[in-house]
Chain A
Amino acid sequence: MLQVFQLLVNGVMAGAILAVPAIGFNIVFAVLQISNFSIAALIAVGAYAGYTANVLLGLPPLLAILAAFLISGAAGVASDRLALRPLRGYGAIAVAIASLALNMVLENIVRFIFGNDVRSLDVPMMRDWIFEGIHVGPQAVFNFLVAIAAMVALFSLLSFTTVGRAMRAVADNPTLANIKGIDPEKMARLAVFLGMGMAGIAGVLLALDTAVDPTIGMRVVLSVFAAAVLGGLGSIPGAVVGGLLIGLAEQLSTLVVPVAYSSAIGFAAIILALLLFPRGILGDR
Chain B
Amino acid sequence: MTLAASSGRARAAMAGSIRIGALLPLTGAGGPFGPSMAALHKQIVDQVNAAGGIEGQRVEYSFEDDQTNPDAAVLGVRKLIDVNKVCAVMGLWSSGVAAPTLPICAENKVVMVAIAASDSLALQKHDGYFFRSNVDVGQQGEAIGNWALKQGGKSLFGLLAQNPFSEPMRLGLVNTIQPKGMKAETIVYDGRRTDFRAEVGQALQAKPDILFLGGYPQDSIIIMKEVFRAGYGGKIVGTGTCVTQQFLDGVGKQVSEGIYTVRPSSAVGSPAYKNLQKLTGKTDLDTNVCQSYDQINLVLLAIAQAKQATGTAVRDNMRKIGDPNGEKVDNVLDGLKLIAAGKSINYEGAASPCKFTPTGNLVSAIFETLRVADGKLTPG
Contact with A along B153-186 (1 / 0, CB 8 A): 0000000001000000000000000000000000
Cβ of B198 and Cβ of A127 under 8 Å apart? no
Interface size class of A (residues with CB under 8 A): 35 or more
By a CB distance below 8 angstroms, the chain A residues around B190 are 259-263
Cβ of B230 and Cβ of A128 under 8 Å apart? yes
Cα–Cα distance between A261 and B190 once the two chains are bound (Å): 7
Cross-chain contact of A137 among B189, B229, B252 (Cβ < 8 A): B229
Binds B, one of A27-35, A184-192, A210-218, A234-242: A210-218
* A251 is an interface residue with CB less than 8 A from chain B: yes
Cross-chain contact of A125 among B195, B201, B249, B255 (Cβ < 8 A): B255
What total of A-B pairs shows CB separation below 8 Å? 100
By a CB distance below 8 angstroms, the chain B residues around A14 are 195, 197
Name the CB-closest residue of A to B205. Answer: A3
* A73, chain B: closest CB distance, angstroms: 22
Interface residues of B in 230-258 (CB under 8 A from A): 230-231, 246-247, 249-252, 254-255
Name the CB-closest residue of A to B199. Answer: A259
* B68, chain A: closest CB distance, angstroms: 15
* B283 is an interface residue with CB less than 8 A from chain A: no
Cα–Cα distance between A120 and B226 once the two chains are bound (Å): 13
* B194 is an interface residue with CB less than 8 A from chain A: yes
* A10 is an interface residue with CB less than 8 A from chain B: yes
By a CB distance below 8 angstroms, the chain A residues around B254 are 125
Interface residues of A in 200-248 (CB under 8 A from B): 206, 209-211, 213, 215-216, 218-220
* A139 is an interface residue with CB less than 8 A from chain B: yes
* A231, chain B: closest CB distance, angstroms: 19
Contact with B along A109-142 (1 / 0, CB 8 A): 0000000011110000111101000010101000
Cβ of A210 and Cβ of B197 under 8 Å apart? no
Cross-chain contact of A259 among B202, B205, B222 (Cβ < 8 A): B202
Cβ of B250 and Cβ of A211 under 8 Å apart? yes
Cβ of A120 and Cβ of B251 under 8 Å apart? yes
By a CB distance below 8 angstroms, the chain A residues around B250 are 118-120, 211
* A263, chain B: closest CB distance, angstroms: 5
Name the CB-closest residue of A to B228. Answer: A125
Contact with A along B201-213 (1 / 0, CB 8 A): 1100100000000
By a CB distance below 8 angstroms, the chain A residues around B230 are 127-128, 135
* A258 is an interface residue with CB less than 8 A from chain B: yes
Among A130, A211, A220, A262: residue with most chain B CB under 10 A: A211
* A108 is an interface residue with CB less than 8 A from chain B: no
Cβ of A263 and Cβ of B218 under 8 Å apart? no
Cβ of A118 and Cβ of B218 under 8 Å apart? yes
Contact with B along A31-73 (1 / 0, CB 8 A): 0000000000000000000000000000000000000000000
Cα–Cα distance between A260 and B193 once the two chains are bound (Å): 10
By a CB distance below 8 angstroms, the chain B residues around A126 are 229
Cβ of B231 and Cβ of A120 under 8 Å apart? no
By a CB distance below 8 angstroms, the chain B residues around A79 are none
Interface size class of B (residues with CB under 8 A): 20 to 34
Cβ of A260 and Cβ of B231 under 8 Å apart? no
By a CB distance below 8 angstroms, the chain B residues around A120 are 221, 225, 249-252
Cross-chain contact of B218 among A128, A137, A213, A259 (Cβ < 8 A): A213
By a CB distance below 8 angstroms, the chain A residues around B251 are 120
By a CB distance below 8 angstroms, the chain A residues around B198 are 7, 10, 250-251, 254, 259, 262
* B217 is an interface residue with CB less than 8 A from chain A: yes
By a CB distance below 8 angstroms, the chain A residues around B202 are 254, 259
Cα–Cα distance between A6 and B198 once the two chains are bound (Å): 9
By a CB distance below 8 angstroms, the chain A residues around B188 are 258-260
Name the CB-closest residue of A to B221. Answer: A211
* B273, chain A: closest CB distance, angstroms: 30
Name the CB-closest residue of A to B187. Answer: A259
Cα–Cα distance between A259 and B192 once the two chains are bound (Å): 12
* B196, chain A: closest CB distance, angstroms: 8
Cα–Cα distance between A118 and B224 once the two chains are bound (Å): 13
Cβ of B193 and Cβ of A10 under 8 Å apart? no
* B361, chain A: closest CB distance, angstroms: 27
* B212, chain A: closest CB distance, angstroms: 16
By a CB distance below 8 angstroms, the chain B residues around A250 are 195, 198
Cβ of B246 and Cβ of A117 under 8 Å apart? yes
Interface residues of B in 242-297 (CB under 8 A from A): 246-247, 249-252, 254-255
Cα–Cα distance between A118 and B249 once the two chains are bound (Å): 8
Cβ of A258 and Cβ of B197 under 8 Å apart? no
* A82, chain B: closest CB distance, angstroms: 28
By a CB distance below 8 angstroms, the chain A residues around B199 are 254, 259
Cα–Cα distance between A3 and B200 once the two chains are bound (Å): 12
Cβ of B222 and Cβ of A127 under 8 Å apart? no
* B171, chain A: closest CB distance, angstroms: 16
Cα–Cα distance between A3 and B205 once the two chains are bound (Å): 9
Among A130, A135, A216, A261: residue with most chain B CB under 10 A: A135
Cβ of A10 and Cβ of B197 under 8 Å apart? yes
* A38, chain B: closest CB distance, angstroms: 18
Query: What are some 22 contacts across the A-B interface (CB < 8 A)?
Result: A7-B198, A10-B201, A118-B221, A119-B249, A119-B250, A120-B249, A125-B228, A125-B229, A125-B252, A135-B229, A210-B195, A211-B218, A211-B250, A216-B194, A219-B192, A251-B197, A251-B198, A254-B199, A258-B187, A259-B187, A260-B187, A262-B193
**Could you list which residues of chain A lie within 8 angstroms of chain B, going by C-beta atoms?**
3, 6-7, 10, 14, 117-120, 125-128, 130, 135, 137, 139, 206, 209-211, 213, 215-216, 218-220, 250-251, 254, 258-263
| Chain A to chain B: the 9 pairs with minimum beta-carbon distance, closest first | A254-B198, A210-B222, A118-B250, A219-B194, A211-B221, A263-B190, A10-B197, A137-B229, A127-B231
Told that A118-B218, A125-B255, A220-B194 touch, could you supply 18 new A-B pairs with CB distance under 8 A?
A3-B205, A7-B198, A117-B246, A120-B221, A120-B225, A125-B225, A125-B254, A135-B230, A137-B229, A210-B194, A211-B225, A213-B218, A218-B192, A220-B193, A251-B197, A254-B199, A261-B190, A262-B198
